[in-house]
Amino acid sequence: MVCLGRICPDMLINGPIDANPYSIRLNSDGRTDAVAAISAQPPESFSASLLRSLLLRSLLQSDTFDESCESGEMENENETNTEPVEAEVNPWEVSGKIDYDKLIDKFGCQRLDQSLIDRVHRLTSRPPHVFLRRGVFFAHRDLNEILDAYERGDKFYLYTGRGPSSEALHLGHLVPFMFTKYLQDAFKVPLVIQLTDDEKCMWKNLSVEESQRLARENAKDIIACGFDITRTFIFSDFDYVGGAFYKNMVKVSKCVTYNKVVGIFGFTGEDHIGKVSFPPVQAVPSFPSSFPHLFSGKENLRCLIPCAIDQDPYFRMTRDVAPRIGYHKPALIESSFFPALQGDTGKMSASDPNSAIYVTDTPKEIKDKINKYAFTGGQDTKEKQRLYGANLEVDIPVKYLSFFLDDDDELEYIKQEYGSGRMLTFDVKKRLIDLLTELVERHKRARATVTEEMVDAFMAARPLPSMFS
């Protein structure tokens, strides 16, 4: 807790003054003169400099003024805040150390247990994806109902998306698409992929034209993941929103109050109305009637959404509204975050190139980033590593191997050897460098085959007659 009675003169001299002068009350004796002087003036007479001057003079006259504030410190002499900073998880920001058990409780979703993984295996006759086996996708909403319907012979469709804010994808962006590709192939179902170029235009201060260009560039990376064009429709909001899609947006908008959307997403009075009006745009692809060229006459078709858990707020809202406008609640299968190179305190970010491995990185860039930036749990000397072993809980190279090394036996061997000290950090990083270089180079080769005509074909609003076969 910060004592409001301690205010730094430097803050008053240089900082912004946005407060209403009639609402300023300082909780310390010796400052009533300043408050009275301020309160006696009409609002239009105030300037920032006058307000700072009055407050500063009162502070300097007060015997409760703490000179340590000159260095920018604000103290509370009675208590010290020792509580850890709570992680921030929302669709636009992920920061802090994530406790996934707490996040499940907070969001109200369910943990993905082994019985559901075994059921996916049985229904698809395919080995569970590494992201299922390793708990990368760890939470869900109503996945059991999707599997119940599928077992009865009812089909469903997949919906996922991408907010195109950068020229190229990083490895964290690939995770949901790699998993969605597995689901599409395993269940033989159609997929819609939303490119929210409108969202990034509003949140990232990009022009409409730049957002549209990035959407097409990102579409090439998505197509390079190997999606089946006979079962896949990719669309950008700027190009597709309208008609039946827009009608569903209006239906959702009428069901969600302003107070509700503020409570879910934390919007403030400083956010423009575009942000407040965006959630229905991401909600309605989970309703089949939004795609009449695909699902005409199939309004009862269920939807499964693979996504990272930071997108859950959108679909909590959607699930609340869906039955009220005549649709099934969409089901979700949700992943943990792909950590930044510097440590497991959030997710890899496109805004910090040194926190991420991009699908455009050269082998040298991958090697340099892993060697220079990848946080390890290994000891700082070879002797200590041999003696104590590595802390695997914080080791980023091991975490990355857990995402992308398919061989369970090899991963377990590395963990045993590295954790016991028989393997050095250098060896683990080298294995990771080799693995990621191979993955990125393979993606580059696939992307090089994607033409503008292929992008147009995937993004054409067209029937998909073989989408369930």
Percent of the chain with pLDDT over 70: 80
pLDDT at 22: 33
SS3 429: helix
pLDDT at 368: 96
Q: Tell me, what amino acid is at 404?
A: F
Between 53-57, 130-134, 323-327, the lowest mean confidence (pLDDT) is in 53-57
pLDDT at 62: 41
pLDDT at 460: 98
Percent of the chain with pLDDT over 90: 75
Q: Is the pLDDT of residue 294 over 50?
A: yes
Q: What percentage of the chain's residues is helix, strand, coil (to nearest 5)?
A: 55, 10, 35
Q: Which carries the bigger pLDDT value, residue 7 or residue 262?
A: 262
Q: Is the pLDDT of residue 278 over 60?
A: yes
* H or E element at residue 138: strand 137-141
Burial code of 282-304, b = ≥16 C-beta within 10 A, e = fewer? bbbbbbbbbbbebbeeeeebbbb
pLDDT at 17: 39
Mean pLDDT, to the nearest integer, of 339-350?
A: 74
Q: Is the pLDDT of residue 245 over 90?
A: yes
Query: Beta-strand (E) ranges in 321-459?
Result: 331-335
Confidence of residue 35 (pLDDT cuts 50, 70, 90): very low
Confidence of residue 84 (pLDDT cuts 50, 70, 90): low
SS3 139: strand
Q: Where are the domains of the chain?
A: 9-71, 88-338, 354-448
- The rounded distance, in Å, linking the Cα atoms of 38 and 55 is 9
CATH T-level assignment (fold) for domain 354-448: Tyrosyl-Transfer RNA Synthetase (1.10.240)
Confidence of residue 332 (pLDDT cuts 50, 70, 90): very high
pLDDT digit string, tens, across residues 143-200: 999 999 999 999 999 999 999 988 889 999 999 999 999 999 999 999 999 999 999 9
Q: What are the structure tokens assigned to 391, written together?
A: 């802390």
| Fold match between domain 88-338 and domain 354-448 | no
pLDDT at 433: 99
- The rounded distance, in Å, linking the Cα atoms of 139 and 336 is 9
Q: Is the pLDDT of residue 429 over 80?
A: yes
Q: Is the pLDDT of residue 283 over 90?
A: yes
For the question of whether the overall pTM of this predicted structure is more than 0.85, the answer is: no
pLDDT at 38: 44
Q: Which residues pair with 308 in a beta bridge?
A: 335
CATH T-level assignment (fold) for domain 88-338: Rossmann fold (3.40.50)
